[in-house]
Structure 1
């Protein structure tokens, strides 16, 4: 049994728990724990590759802000998700900013050490490719929805995806720590539109809205709305 203090925590995630045990051990062998305070930037767009990360506690916002101050929010990454793998494959600069949401604890696999491990055991590249291909599938789904789905269905579907950890966790979460403004940014909707949709869902008894959080009361009805 792996004695690393974060091993059991990482085993709650689909990707890591399905890795061959020797690879799990090798990854933890080169890993370093990093702690970030709220608002601390892990990396910014254009930075050189710095390796692979897993969120252990807290969350990381991934997005970008243009010269006019408008923000594009791609995702809020929570435990036990891994991120940063694109630069591992192409060696190109970071595509977006990554900023800590509240106090955040990360596991960091430095780029050079991880590449050395994969050069020694190239069979494991496939496991990293699976991590990236899962996110690529989600991206295609989101792009399709942006073009074809009405706003209420997009809101319902994204809430479901977040509750289910984007396929990374087994149990569906009922309470989401999710400010409405954050949800609006992720869906490229106005805050007013998002707020109205959420209020409609609350009036139907599907959700309960709290301060900075959304509680799902009827997961099956929400699933039905996401399919329309």
Structure 2
């Protein structure tokens, strides 16, 4: 929403239905085929995939102003993730019909969606690289940095360590060790069901210095 001009953002809110969700309530389920776009107004939305055994592979945490479900309108594909509310959450829900009508009349919507899609693609590639190449400490730092960009509140991520471990493909014990090392470096603070990032810029600098591949020799 921050990428839209004020008047266009007002039209998006006008053409949407505001729906309230309680903590842990499903906002959408993987496989749903009804097209539409969702935008977080307040609270947060946890996007991931829930396995048959109840395990959760968390993809990202979406905060106020972040959207999801756009591809259901443009590609006619079913939804790929389970999305649940984190705390009391409000979501603007817009049907495909209303969105398409607004999209055809407001080119700024196209620009905002394109920039959002490219940013997400960049974050995804960074995460895949981290999973393939980096030690657990650096891997955890990079995914926390990526999540802080989308969570709405860059200083606090509401997520369980078990979900984060499953997403990274490591044991909870190994992840806990890596997170404690980051905490000792004063990059994060560990809490119950949350990870705090007191200085996001410091974490970003650390990731840039420790997680990026070495430059090619000239």
Contact 2:165–2:171 at 8 Å: present in 1 too? yes
3-state SS of paired residue (2:117): helix
Task: Give the corresponding residue for 2:41.
Answer: 56
The Cα shift of 1:211 comes to 1.9
Separation of aligned partners in 1, 2:134 and 2:169: 13
Match for residue 43 of structure 1 among 14, 19, 28: 28
Task: Give the corresponding residue for 1:140.
Answer: 125
Q: How many residues align?
A: 209
In the alignment, does 2:107 pair up with 1:107? no
**TM-score if structure 2 supplies the norm length?**
0.81
Task: Give the corresponding residue for 1:178.
Answer: 159
What CA deviation, in whole Å up to 9, does each residue of 1:180-212 have, x standing for no partner? 223323333221111111122233444332222
Alignment of 1:14-25 (within 5 A): 16-25=1-10
Q: Which moved more, 1:212-221 or 1:197-206?
A: 212-221
Match for residue 78 of structure 1 among 52, 63, 78: 63
Contact 2:130–2:142 at 8 Å: present in 1 too? no
Task: Give the corresponding residue for 1:195.
Answer: 176
Separation of aligned partners in 2, 1:126 and 1:84: 17
3-state SS of paired residue (1:88): helix
Separation of aligned partners in 2, 1:226 and 1:122: 36
Separation of aligned partners in 2, 1:60 and 1:146: 23
Task: Give the corresponding residue for 2:197.
Answer: 216
Q: Which runs of 5+ in 1 are unaligned?
A: 1-15
What CA deviation, in whole Å up to 9, does each residue of 1:107-133 have, x standing for no partner? 112221111222345674343222222
Task: Give the corresponding residue for 2:216.
Answer: none
**TM-score if structure 1 supplies the norm length?**
0.78
Q: Which runs of 5+ in 2 are unaligned?
A: 211-218
